[in-house]
Chain A
């Protein structure tokens, strides 16, 4: 194979068509779901980030179109119920979704139309990966990308519960979990995400995390000079920072942007399961291996009754999680 691709710096470039060596390799993985002692990579890739400036977004959804086209997903055509969200939620075929909020600013009595591009935040400390019981179904690369390896996914849906942003979605067709990849296949050849390239207002930009923070700071200064005193960056420390970051004009109130968590962190339940999930996951796989009807199990596994949720929480809180005395 020919030369190795450079590391990406921007999304505003035309992808190569000549064969080029991938620059995002199995050896660049720093964390693997349900796997301890991941060998430390011999190099550290430059951390990347996608910056979404909600103050520049016009809600056109070019990013959604570009994501569908690049990933060859095909969200179902749904019914118009009188709202702008389309589709109605993230789906296994729609990795990013514009969420619209009409908010009356109590200080000015102005109606503000808040538009936020929702999707995986690529957490430095990913709750999905920590909750996942299937070895190798979720990996994190040293540049910060959290990616799903679908062949290893058992469709249990724990990643959905583990994610502080409620992002992954389980396909009813193949019972695998799907979410934004940060276009890992483009990043691997030195390109930026399809959504960032397409965005006509450049509300979405992509580059090294360092560059994106610097760009965000410029934007925040500009917003402050226009009267948005609380403009700021959303790069939440509770999940170790993220590789998808926002510029918010009201950074003091993230939740007004359609429920963006004010202080996201991994649920203590997930942190508590850590010890047992791996064992439990393997037990499931054992059952599967002796010839259980895989579909039956995994389709059912998604249904967690609310009382069970509470019991699990109690268990973890009482420190009884590993005792098996349920």
Chain B
């Protein structure tokens, strides 16, 4: 079947329709929409709201996460939407393009959800437990600090510097967490200290 319905075809059809037949005869007494006007069902109805902070940068915008199912009630929650929290003093509901796309970040198949380790010389990452990961990190830090910590400079002035290990922290934290992180890192003498979105 090969009907080339161009606009010209429409004109022809229209003409033919008027000349040779009536719409009634074609079975269209009254032209009516098959489906009544409707808007999409509101997708947040009966979802559970969870307030959170956008994890990307240190502006730390407030967000609301909407899920089907409530974890607090022992159910599994399926995250269906995230948007800015209009009650949050930082952003008043607005978000940047990254924050506005957070749902896809949460659902990304490549998202890192557990610690992984690539052994020296290996080409692949292996899953490890948090205990193993923290032990490894602590061991490596201790060994490096013992070997490279600089207590005094050439003039003999105490400086307590540890320049051979860096620390990368998360930016989107509360003031309290940020304070604790800062104190922990600096108290060990670490100089190289940053996060992924320093402002």
Contact = CB atoms under 8 A, between A and B. Distances in A.
A26 B37 contact: yes
Contacts of A286: 26-28
Contact of B84 (A198, A279, A283, A284): A198
A324 B18 contact: yes
B6 A304 contact: yes
Interface residues of A, number: 84
Contacts of A293: 1
Contacts of A278: 31
A81 interface: no
A276 interface: yes
A7 B101 CA distance: 27
A120 B100 CA distance: 21
Interface string A139-155: 10100000101011000
Given A152-B34, A304-B6, A62 B95 contact: yes
B105 to A, nearest CB: 11
A282 B34 contact: no
B100 A198 contact: yes
A273 B113 CA distance: 58
Interface string A23-51: 01010010010110000000000000000
A22 interface: yes
Contacts of A65: 95, 97-98, 100-101
Nearest to B98: A65
Nearest to A67: B100
B44 interface: yes
A194 B83 contact: yes
A181 B39 contact: yes
B42 A22 contact: yes
Contacts of A202: 94
Contact of A69 (B2, B17, B31, B100): B100
A2 to B, nearest CB: 10
A26 B33 CA distance: 12
B3 A324 contact: no
Contact of A13 (B6, B93, B100): B93
B198 interface: no
Interface in A221-240: none
B154 interface: no
Given A13-B93, A279-B23, A292-B1, A284 B36 contact: no
Interface in A132-166: 133, 135-137, 139, 141, 147, 149, 151-152, 156
B5 A29 contact: no
A17 B41 contact: no
B167 interface: no
Contacts of B95: 62, 65-66, 198, 200
Contacts of B48: 17
Contacts of B91: 200
Given A139-B37, A304-B6, A19 B94 contact: no
Contacts of B31: 34-35, 135, 278, 282
A325 B14 CA distance: 10
A326 B2 contact: no
B17 A283 contact: yes
Contacts of A137: 33
Contacts of A17: 44-49, 66
A314 to B, nearest CB: 11
A276 B28 contact: no
Interface stretch (A88-96, A104-112, A183-191, A253-261): A183-191
Contact of B83 (A66, A147, A199, A315): A66
Q: Across chains A and B, which 8 residue pairs bring their CB atoms closest together, nearest first?
A: A324-B15, A136-B33, A65-B100, A151-B35, A280-B10, A185-B40, A276-B14, A280-B14
15 contacts: A12-B93, A24-B39, A26-B36, A60-B97, A64-B97, A69-B82, A136-B33, A149-B33, A149-B36, A198-B83, A280-B10, A286-B27, A292-B1, A308-B8, A321-B11
Given A149-B35, A325-B15, 14 more contacts: A17-B45, A19-B46, A24-B39, A34-B31, A62-B99, A65-B101, A69-B82, A70-B83, A185-B41, A282-B26, A286-B26, A286-B28, A300-B3, A300-B5
